[in-house]
Chain A
Amino acid sequence: MGLRWLGWAVVAAVALALPQVLPLYFTHLVLLTMIYGLSAMSLDLLAGYTGLTSFGHAAYFGAAAYTVGILTTQHRVPPALAFPAGVAAAAALAAVYGLLATRAVGVYFLIITLALGMGTWGLAYRWSSVTGGDNGLPGIPPLELGLPWSTSDPKHLYYLILVIFCLAAFLLYRLVRSPFGLSLRGIRESEGRMRMLGYNTWLHRYVAFVVAGTFAGLAGSLYAFYNRFVSPPDLHIAASAEAVLMVILGGAGTLFGPLVGAGIVVFLRNLVSAYTHRWMLILGVVFVLTVMYAPQGVAGGARALWARWRGRAVTPPVAGPGKEPVAER
């Protein structure tokens, strides 16, 4: 227990000291990691915890970002209003799409979310009068929330985003440990049994879908104000796939694994691309190695190593063979 608190204290100290110590460029990469990490963590709620792999998660991220972009650049809505409006738009979109997507599970769920995500991208790409089409929406103002200090200073902005990220991560952390979070894992393992235990499993899946979309929207709102520019690639299928990649790299079904995965993708993309255009190749190799040698992702693998180092088996000895259930005698 003491060790755990020490660990959190170290993480907090590092997070607070980062912008003072690191060059601005690295602070920028850490910020992107937090923003994409939040989106990946919300996706993990579906993919890792509930067992529903969504291939259209960028749609909610992008819907929030575009809402912020449209409201601030075309309607002069102040950031303090546009920010929650972006989150609300993502939640509303997830509430509608969820009605369609949660009718299915497994690969059908994946295909429906993929189609919905592509449709949303098409809207952003083609509805030029509102979304700016291929050009996107430049000129989003900085995130001035009427606070006593200015967020145009990148260090101040870092702390603001850090606080919002930590609040969101705290809520997700509580959620995955709550009875509701437990019910999602139960649905992943055996939905039929869950129904027989008295759960309206569709309702749980639907709520999980909307919650995941809402948190992705929070990340999208942050992204719009941080990047000051939104364009169709932000909600393209490739962005959705990248979120799935972050979840798998970091460890599906672990809350902070996807944050690690986001860090790997963000840093690889930005650092390796300085040397070669083929950074995707490097990312691919990392991905293959992860799947081969740490199929539970970096966080899952680290957890197993930690348990081994502590000298205690991760699981007690498994029951011997020959104990398979006999269907009918």
Chain B
Amino acid sequence: MSAVCLRTEQLRKHYGGLRAVDGVDLEVRQGERRAIIGPNGAGKTTLFHLLSGEVPATAGRILLFGQDITHLPSYRRTALGIGRTYQVTNLFPRLTVLENALLAAFGLRREKYDPFRAAWQHRQALEDARRLLEEFGLWEKRDWPIGSLSYGEQRQLEIVLALAGRPRLLLLDEPTAGLSPAETQVVTRLVAGLDPQITVLLIEHDMDVAFQVAQRVTVLHFGRVLAEGTVDEVRGNPEVQAIYLGVGEL
């Protein structure tokens, strides 16, 4: 069996009395595609913030390939192989598509400190940016400002930025939110076609997408793991059905 990529132990995030993430134990193996689902306010995005280091944990531990990263700042976690996208598009709006991709390509390179040579003269970073933009069909629009891209293209650029650092663990926060059905299909295929070595954690509201991409599903509810299993197991779980059909609501 493949190595454990990510493990959390009793991970918690409390905001005063609100327990956004309330003792989550996760174990995700390398190369696994895991969907995180759950109703609004279940703590899915907060869990991602904890994993990426953008929000400090109240308690618990996070292990990436066995290394404790609980207290590392987010840029150190990126260097260790975590990449993420955001639920609300988080790009560099006044820069061009290529500049966005270049920033991502420089992120883990020492050349990011170079104050003298022009950015586009750094062949390797430029090559990385070009390869990813071509793969996502954005190279033709490299000189466009972000605001001129369609929303679907912006969502794809989100994934480009996250992939530029060659992550071992990719956190995708609702990559298809707000997309048209056709665009959703494009992004779903992209995610399904990612390098199988990359471990993917995916927050998704669209059950069809989640079930297409992921082998296993974790259901969060009020900050806790309500159920975890294969797609079919979770589908058949009466508690999960109750939450999503609104029967067992508090």
Interface on A for B, CB 8 Å cutoff? 171, 174-175, 177-183, 185-186, 188-190, 192-201, 211, 315-319, 323-329
Contacts and interface: CB of A to CB of B under 8 A. Distances in A.
B164 to A, nearest CB: 7
A105 to B, nearest CB: 16
B217 to A, nearest CB: 18
A325 B151 contact: yes
A178 B147 CA distance: 23
B103 A178 contact: no
A327 B88 contact: yes
Interface string B136-160: 0000010011011111000000000
A316 B92 contact: no
Contacts of A198: 75, 78-79, 107-108, 165
A189 B112 contact: no
Contact of B148 (A180, A185, A197, A318): A318
B27 interface: no
16 contacts: A178-B114, A178-B118, A179-B119, A180-B115, A182-B103, A185-B92, A196-B78, A197-B103, A197-B107, A315-B145, A316-B141, A316-B144, A325-B177, A326-B177, A328-B177, A329-B205
A21 B148 CA distance: 48
Given A189-B92, A199-B107, A325-B88, 8 more contacts: A175-B116, A178-B119, A179-B122, A192-B54, A193-B161, A196-B52, A198-B79, A201-B75
B84 interface: yes
Find the residue from B74, B75, B115, B161 having the highest chain A CB count within 10 A.
Answer: B115
B111 interface: yes
Majority SS of interface residues in chain B?
loop
Nearest to A174: B116
Interface in B8-58: 40, 52, 54
B214 interface: no
B104 A197 contact: yes
Find the residue from A193, A318, A327 having the highest chain B CB count within 10 A.
Answer: A193
A20 to B, nearest CB: 34
A199 B148 contact: no
Interface of B: 40, 52, 54, 73-75, 78-79, 83-84, 86-95, 99, 102-104, 106-108, 111-119, 122, 125, 141, 144-145, 147-151, 161, 164-165, 177-178, 205
Given A180-B114, A193-B90, A315-B145, A186 B103 contact: yes
B161 to A, nearest CB: 7
A183 B111 CA distance: 11
A182 B106 CA distance: 10
A200 B110 CA distance: 12
A179 B114 contact: yes
Given A175-B116, A325-B178, A196 B74 contact: yes
A114 to B, nearest CB: 26
A215 to B, nearest CB: 12
